[in-house]
Structure formats: C-alpha cells, structure tokens
Structure 1
Amino acid sequence: MFGKGSKIYSILFLKCPRCHEGAFLEANPYKLSNFNKVKEHCPKCNLKYSIEPSFYYGSMYVSYAVGVAVAVAVYVLTLLLGLDLSILGIFGAIVTVLVLTMPWIAAVSKSIWANFFFNYNKEIAEKVK
C-alpha cells in the first residue's frame, strides 16, 4: 500500500515521482544551506523535475494545507494527552512545532506538488534499478 508505486512512498521518502528511485532534493530538508532545493533532473531516470519556471510556487498552497494539518494535529494531541494548557500555551506549542517542522513541510509540499503532475511508471522504474 505504501511501497514503491504509490504516491505516498514518493512523497514521504522524497523520491522521484516517476521512478521512485532517485532523490528529489539536493540534500536533507534540514540542511539549511540547500534549503529544499529541488534537483534539476532525477539522477536515475533523468526526469526533469520542473515543468516551467517558477513551477514550485504552487507548492505554497500545499504547504499552507500541510501546515494547517500539523497545527490541528498538535491541538488534538494536546487534548488527547490531557495537557492542561492555556490558549497561549496551545498557541505556543503549535508555533513551536510548526517552526521545527517547517523544512520538512516545505519539502513534502514540493513533493506533493510534483506528484500532482508526474505519475509512477513501472517500466522506467524497472530499467533504472
């Protein structure tokens, strides 16, 4: 279900949307010198990751949605864990988690955006292994 061939695999492991083998980013999302820099091409199947200039601007909308989902998850977790936090305490927890996960959210959002436009190709994936 979450193995190679599923979009979730490509998104969570930041792999090429077409072959699920090559790396999607230049470096780890938390390496701030290359902050979420997407590679030009897949190192395995040579897919060009950017269809047009400024292609990944659309991922900002995805990033907003992922950030809201993370904020809601933090709020629900504070309720489930029975933490007796004030409104400012909950707000502080949400902001802290969002700041700490910001590089991951931006990377996953770009991967989600790319997966809207590129599909897994089993034949290509078999060739590049």
Structure 2
Amino acid sequence: MNKKCSHCQTRYKIEPSFFFGAMYVSYGLGVMLSVLVFLIAHFILGVSLFGSFLLIATTLFTLYPILARTGRNIWINLFLSFKTKYSKTHLNCNA
C-alpha cells in the first residue's frame, strides 16, 4: 500500500493504531459475509453443517484481501473527507 495519495498527499497511515480500527471493521464485514454464506448454503442449497463450514472458510480465505481493503477504506472515510478540500479533478482519490 502506498504511503501517500498521489493526488492529495494524504498519509494513509494516520496513526500507529489506525489499522486496529480497520481490523474491527474488516472483522464485522467478515462476520456478515459468513452469516450470509451460511444462510444461503445451509437453508437454501441444503448443504450440511460441515459443508457450510468449509464453504465459509473457503469464501473468507478467498475474499480476505478484498475484506481487508474494504475495511480500511470504510475506516478512513469515517475520519477524512476528500470532496470538500479538493477540486473536481481530485475526486478520483482512492484513499
């Protein structure tokens, strides 16, 4: 992950414990995804409990990079606003 945004020069690592908050958001997203996979696999598709567990583990393992990045993006957007400080050319900033 880059240290600063190429458009607005915002540091991505705001404080040493910043990623702890992002970890909690990522954990919440993982729990929601696990519940959704379990409900679909067990109740709609009729997969056994062990099969549902394996499907949840496979899904979380596969989607972990996406969950981690999404958690960081959600966490940083709770504290920083990019739309009010910069012009329309900088709205493509992906912090």
Coarse TM-score class (shorter-chain normalised): 0.7 to 0.9
RMSD over aligned CA atoms reads 1.9
Q: What per-residue deviation string (whole Å, max 9, x for no partner) do you get for residues 36-66 of structure 1?
A: x3x2111111122222223212111111100
Structure 2: give runs of 5+ residues left out of the alignment: none
Corresponding residue to 2:5 among 18, 23, 42: 42
Structure 1: give runs of 5+ residues left out of the alignment: 1-36
Deviation of the 1:122 alpha carbon: 4.1
Which of the two has greater helix per residue? 2
Matched to 1:75, the amino acid is: F
Name 2:51's counterpart in structure 1: 89
Alignment of 1:58 with 2:26, yes or no, is no
Q: How many residues align?
A: 91
Normalising to structure 2: TM-score of the pair? 0.81
Q: What per-residue deviation string (whole Å, max 9, x for no partner) do you get for residues 12-58 of structure 1?
A: xxxxxxxxxxxxxxxxxxxxxxxxx3x21111111222222232121
Deviation of the 1:111 alpha carbon: 0.8
Q: What per-residue deviation string (whole Å, max 9, x for no partner) do you get for residues 69-128 of structure 1?
A: 110111222256x32211101111111101110111111111111111111324504253
The separation in 1 between residues aligned to 2:51 and 2:84, in whole angstroms, is 48
